[in-house]
Amino acid sequence: MAGRKDYVNTKVTSNREQIEYHVKEILRLVGEDVEREGLLETPARVTRMYEEIFAGYEVDPREVLGVTFDEQHEELVIVKDIVYYSQCEHHMAPFFGKAHIGYIPSGKIAGLSKLARLVEAVTRRLQVQERITSQIADIIDEELAPNGVMVVVEGEHLCMCARGVKKPGSKTVTSAVRGDFRNNSALRSEFLALLKQ
């Protein structure tokens, strides 16, 4: 996603007129004056935003890892604090946070930026945090065939902070473990300790 070129959701682009119409209708139905100055360009702005925040639909996350390298490194590799933004599929409200990925190669490694691109490909669509966590772990497990994978995702959900129970500042943490991480508590502890540094 970022780094090579900015992807956009071409379905949004090709349906721009319809999306703008429906955004205008929603504004009208919630009681807004759609002809007032501040809202005249809102349907177009929302559509352009959708092109960007739903760009993940244009990317096959499994292809994001791309070229891998043969490398006999068999120790823990961690990329942490990968910032992401996503949209809750239940309320279409934003949630955002950080993803942390650790894996133990078994002869094959990915470029470090590819792991960040994988997070973007998975998060820039309607999602739930639990699925994001599992999808990242599963894709790394399937594409790199490492000895183990652990993914921890932290998220702050506006559907929980700004509505419903209204608990701003609350965070959700999810994890997924594969391979050696599943049965080795010392390895999980090492990963979690390194996240805190």
Instruction: State yes or no: 161 annotated in a binding site.
Output: no
CATH topology of domain 10-56: GTP Cyclohydrolase I; Chain A, domain 1 (1.10.286)
Choosing from 32, 154, 159, 190, which is the catalytic residue? 159
pLDDT at 1: 44
The three-state secondary structure class of 13 is helix
| 18 given a catalytic annotation | no
Q: What is the DSSP string of 139-182?
A: HHHHHH--SEEEEEEEEEEHHHHTSTT--TT--EEEEEEEEHHH
CATH topology for 68-196 is GTP Cyclohydrolase I, domain 2 (3.30.1130)
In the numeric block, the tokens 């934003």 are attached to 94
Question: Is 52 marked active-site?
Answer: no
Q: Is 159 a catalytic residue?
A: yes
Q: What is the pTM of this model?
A: 0.92
Q: Does 10-56 match 68-196 in CATH topology?
A: no
Q: Quote the percentage of the chain above a pLDDT of 70.
A: 97
| pLDDT tens digits for range 45-93 | 999 999 999 999 999 999 998 888 888 888 999 999 999 999 999 999 9
- Annotation-wise, does 91 bind a ligand? yes
Please give the pLDDT value at position 4: 45
